[in-house]
Amino acid sequence: MATAIEVRGISKQFVLRHTRSIKEAFVWVMKGRKGDLSKKFHALHDVSLEIEQGETVALLGLNGSGKSTLLKHISGVMLPDTGTVRTRGRVAGLIEVGAGFHPDLSGRDNVYLNGAILGMSEAQISERFDDILEFSEIGDFIDTEVKFYSSGMYLRLAFSVAVHTNPEVFLVDEILAVGDEPFQRKCIAKIKDLADAGKTLVVVSHDLDLVSTICKRGVLLEHGRIILDAPVHEAVRRLRGED
Ligand SMILES: Nc1ncnc2c1ncn2[C@@H]1O[C@H](COP(=O)(O)OP(=O)(O)OP(=O)(O)O)[C@@H](O)[C@H]1O
pLDDT score of 118 more than 90: no
Percent of the chain with pLDDT over 70: 95
| Tens-place pLDDT, residues 7-61 | 999 999 998 766 667 877 778 788 777 766 667 888 999 999 999 999 999 999 9
Identify the helix (H) or strand (E) that includes residue 82.
strand 82-87
Whole-angstrom distance, CA of residue 8 vs CA of residue 59: 16
Residue to mutate, 7, 68, 174, 205, ligand 1, most ligand atoms under 8 Å from C-beta: 68
Res 234: pLDDT: 96
Whole-angstrom distance, CA of residue 104 vs CA of residue 144: 9
61 lines ligand 1 (CB under 6 A): yes
Res 125: pLDDT: 93
Residue predicted with more confidence, 175 or 73 = 73
Distances 100 to 107, 171, 182, 234 between C-alpha atoms, Å: 12, 14, 25, 35
Distance (Å) from CA 65 to ligand 1 centroid? 7
71 lines ligand 1 (CB under 6 A): no
Identify the CA nearest to 214 among candidates 182, 242, 188: 188
Distance (Å) from CA 112 to ligand 1 centroid? 30
Report pTM: 0.87
| Tens-place pLDDT, residues 67-105 | 999 999 999 889 999 999 999 988 888 877 777 789 999
Whole-angstrom distance, CA of residue 234 vs CA of residue 212: 10
Do 54 and 1 contact (CB within 8 A), yes or no? Answer: yes
Q: How far apart, in Å, do the first and last CA atoms of the chain sit?
A: 32
pLDDT score of 6 more than 80: yes
Nearest residue (CA) to ligand 1, atom 19: 64
Residue predicted with more confidence, 191 or 97 = 191
Res 19: pLDDT: 64
| Tens-place pLDDT, residues 199-232 | 999 999 888 988 999 999 999 999 999 999 999 9
Nearest residue (CA) to ligand 1, atom 2: 14
Do 147 and 105 contact (CB within 8 A), yes or no? Answer: no
Res 5: pLDDT: 96
pLDDT score of 108 more than 90: yes
Do 190 and 176 contact (CB within 8 A), yes or no? Answer: no
What is the secondary structure of 21-76 as a DSSP string? -HHHHHHHHHTTS-S-SSEEEEEEEEEEEEEETT-EEEEEESTTSSHHHHHHHHHT
Res 18: pLDDT: 62
Atom of ligand 1 nearest to the CA of 174: 27
Residue to mutate, 11, 14, 42, 173, ligand 1, most ligand atoms under 8 Å from C-beta: 14
Residue predicted with more confidence, 22 or 170 = 170
41 lines ligand 1 (CB under 6 A): no
Nearest residue (CA) to ligand 1, atom 6: 14
Nearest residue (CA) to ligand 1, atom 24: 63
Nearest residue (CA) to ligand 1, atom 17: 68
Do 2 and 53 contact (CB within 8 A), yes or no? Answer: yes
Contacts 24+ apart (CB under 8 A), 18-25: none
| Tens-place pLDDT, residues 127-164 | 999 999 999 999 999 999 999 998 889 888 988 998 88
Q: Which residue segments constitute the domains of the chain, with CATH numbers given?
A: 3-89+168-239 (3.40.50.300), 103-166 (no CATH)
Do 57 and 202 contact (CB within 8 A), yes or no? Answer: yes
What single letter denotes the amino acid at residue 158?
A
